[in-house]
């Protein structure tokens, strides 16, 4: 199964080190491959450095692609994390 949908980064600091670390931790709980795409760049959600190199800031859109047996659950979890601003106090 493959799910691919755009998400808007809503937290003030964007996809910085702490947010990327949370996403990596979450991604590692799923068997599906999770990849984020922004313009001509892409990053595996299991790589903090890769995610930070996307340079995703507040208000920007990234496309989240989940592929595998638990792709829907993986996407839903990533979407919740992004919409919850990576649990950051702002």
Q: Which of 16, 37, 57, 87 is catalytic?
A: 16
Query: What pLDDT does residue 59 have?
Result: 97
Q: Is 87 a catalytic residue?
A: no
User: What is the DSSP-derived secondary structure letter of residue 29?
Assistant: T
pTM listed for this prediction? 0.96
Map out the domains of the chain with their CATH numbers.
2-87 (3.30.1340.10)
| Residues whose CB is less than 8 angstroms from the CB of residue 46 and which lie 6 or more positions away in sequence, other chains included | 24, 27, 28, 34
Query: What pLDDT does residue 54 have?
Result: 97
Tens of pLDDT along the chain (90 residues) come to 999 999 999 999 999 999 999 999 999 999 999 999 999 999 999 999 999 999 999 999 999 999 999 999 999 999 999 999 999 987
């Amino acid at each position: 199964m493959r799910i691919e949908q755009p998400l808007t980064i809503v937290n003030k600091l964007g996809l910085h080190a702490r947010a990327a670390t949370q996403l990596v931790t979450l991604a590692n709980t799923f068997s599906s491959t999770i990849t984020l795409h922004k313009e001509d760049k892409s990053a595996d959600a299991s790589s903090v450095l890769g995610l930070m190199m996307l340079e995703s800031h507040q208000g920007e859109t990234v496309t989240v692609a989940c592929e595998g047996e638990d792709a829907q659950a993986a996407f839903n979890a990533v979407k919740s994390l992004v919409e919850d601003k990576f649990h950051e106090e702002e």
